Amino acid sequence: MGKYVDGFVIPISKKKLPAYRKMAHVGAKVWKKHGALEYFECIGDDLNPALPGVKFPKMAKTKKGETVIFSFIVYKSRKHRDSVNAKVMNDPIMNQPMNMPMPFDMKRMAFGGFKTIVEF
C-alpha cells in the first residue's frame, strides 16, 4: 500500500511571505509532532516553464505582486492522515488565538488528499 499525501496550492502576496513562513514553521512542528512522515512548504521559482499546459499562476489566479506556494504533507495512509489531522486539530498550539490574520486568502487555496500511485 502506498503513502497518502495532502496537497495545497496557495496564491500569496510576496509581501506576506515572512508571515507565511513563520506560520508554516509552526505547522510543520505540529504535524511532525503528531506523526506526519514529511512536511514541505515550497515557493514558486520557475512558474512559467516552456512546457505546454496550465501554469500554476493561472491555475491559482494570482494577482500582481503574488506568487504560489505548493505544500504537501506525507502520511503512511489515509487512515494515518485522518488520525494525525485529528490530533493536530486538538493540539493546544492550533487552538490558540492567532496574533495575526492569515497571510493568504483561504477562499483561494486549493487542497485535497491524494493516494500515491507510483513511489520510487
Residue 120 located in a structural domain: no
How far apart are alpha carbons 75 and 53 in whole angstroms?
Answer: 29
- Torsion, Cα of 82, 84, 88, 92 (10° steps): 130
Cell numbers for 62: 494570482
- Structural domain boundaries, residue 32: 4-46+53-115
Q: Which pLDDT score, from 0 to 100, does residue 46 have?
A: 95
Residue 10 located in a structural domain: yes
Query: Can you give the pTM of this predicted structure?
Result: 0.92
Tell me if residue 102 falls in helix, strand or coil: coil
Residue 69 located in a structural domain: yes
**Nearest C-alpha neighbor of 77 from the set 4, 11, 1:** 4
Q: Which pLDDT score, from 0 to 100, does residue 1 have?
A: 66
Q: Which pLDDT score, from 0 to 100, does residue 99 have?
A: 61
Residue 22 located in a structural domain: yes
Give, for all 120 residues of the chain, the pLDDT tens digit. 689 999 999 999 999 999 999 999 999 999 999 999 999 999 999 999 999 999 999 999 999 999 999 999 999 999 999 999 999 999 998 877 666 678 999 899 999 999 999 988
CB-CB contact of 61 with 108 (8 Å): yes
CATH number at residue 67: 3.30.70.100
Residue 21 located in a structural domain: yes
Q: Which pLDDT score, from 0 to 100, does residue 98 have?
A: 63
Residue 92 located in a structural domain: yes
- Number of domains, the chain: 1
How far apart are alpha carbons 39 and 75 in whole angstroms?
Answer: 9
